[in-house]
Amino acid sequence: MLQTLPETWIFPSIAENLQKLSLFYRDYWGLYPKVDFRKLGESPLPRLKVLALGNYVFGQQWQVDWIASLGRDNGGLQELYLDKCPIIVRAWRRHPFEDGDSDPSVVETFNGPEPGLGVREYSLRWHNVLSQWAESMKGLRVFCMGEGPDRDSSKLILQRGHDEVYSHVDGRVLSRRYKDRIHRDFASEIRADKVKRLKYSRLNINMFHGHTGWMPALQVKSPGDVSEGDTYVRDEAVYQQLMSTVSARALAQGSS
């Protein structure tokens, strides 16, 4: 169902007028399973002002370009929220990928750590992404990257857990309510601590057997665990530059 989201959920009449879009999913998504937002056309969501993504995995240049192209009628996106959105650096599986997907930033081999293991290496890094957005997204006034709390530590559950009105409500029900509204509370829930942003990941496809069958197992790591050389230093420097630019822009907008 995720793969068909652009064609089946975001109809042209909706896309033309949509101003706020929040897309969260319980598992990681974006590349595996792939949701190709390019199917929305060359000038997608022209009036979009706010975009929030949860558990969305980056890895290819078109994803970066697509976000930068949103909201053109408004001068670009004004607010962007990324909750638990890593960049994938490597994916492997026991068969060739053969999904018709190609990108200049991706190198694919069939020579992994085990015989017959297909491997994709992704060269996209956060300093590439953020520097492009800083240059191309001139209307961006809010940028938030980090992680929302686990369901049992969310502000919603903690607050309601001490409220007499909810004292009789099962904790599982509160957790469910949190899940049902996480896409609505993104602005207040995301923590942007240094250890929670600029994440990278590895993906072992067909590694974990869930209740619905074999599922990809994504290993999200800190930048130093999976990136090379001075990547983390460059990532953090560009992140701070972007935040300074965005903050100054928001301040100027507020005083005008």
The stretch 120-132 carries a mean pLDDT of 94
User: H or E segment at 207?
Assistant: strand 200-210
The answer on 211 and 178 residing in a single domain is: no
By C-alpha distance, which of 147, 169, 136, 185 is closest to 22? 185
Calculate the alpha carbon distances from 181 to 28, 66, 224 in Å. 18, 26, 33
The answer on 67 and 174 residing in a single domain is: no
The answer on 157 and 136 residing in a single domain is: no
The answer on 57 and 184 residing in a single domain is: no
**Is residue 99 assigned to a domain?**
no
Instruction: With a cut of 50, say whether residue 209 has pLDDT above it.
Output: no
User: H or E segment at 50?
Assistant: strand 50-56
In a 3-state reduction of DSSP, which class is residue 244? Answer: helix
The parent domain of residue 166 ranges over: 150-188
Question: How confident is the model at residue 111, as a pLDDT?
Answer: 58
The answer on 41 and 168 residing in a single domain is: no
The answer on 83 and 34 residing in a single domain is: yes
Q: Which of 170, 188, 206 is the last residue of a domain?
A: 188
Question: How confident is the model at residue 120, as a pLDDT?
Answer: 84
Question: What's the CA gap between 82 and 86, in Å, rounded?
Answer: 9
pLDDT in tens, 168-193: 555 554 455 545 555 556 666 788 88
pLDDT in tens, 92-116: 876 666 666 667 767 776 655 565 6
Question: How confident is the model at residue 102, as a pLDDT?
Answer: 67
Tell me the pTM: 0.80
DSSP 8-class letter at 219: E
The answer on 218 and 246 residing in a single domain is: yes
> How many domains are there within the chain?
2
The answer on 137 and 14 residing in a single domain is: yes
Q: Which spans in the chain are helix H? A: 5-8, 12-15, 61-68, 126-136, 155-161, 171-181, 186-189, 223-226, 231-255
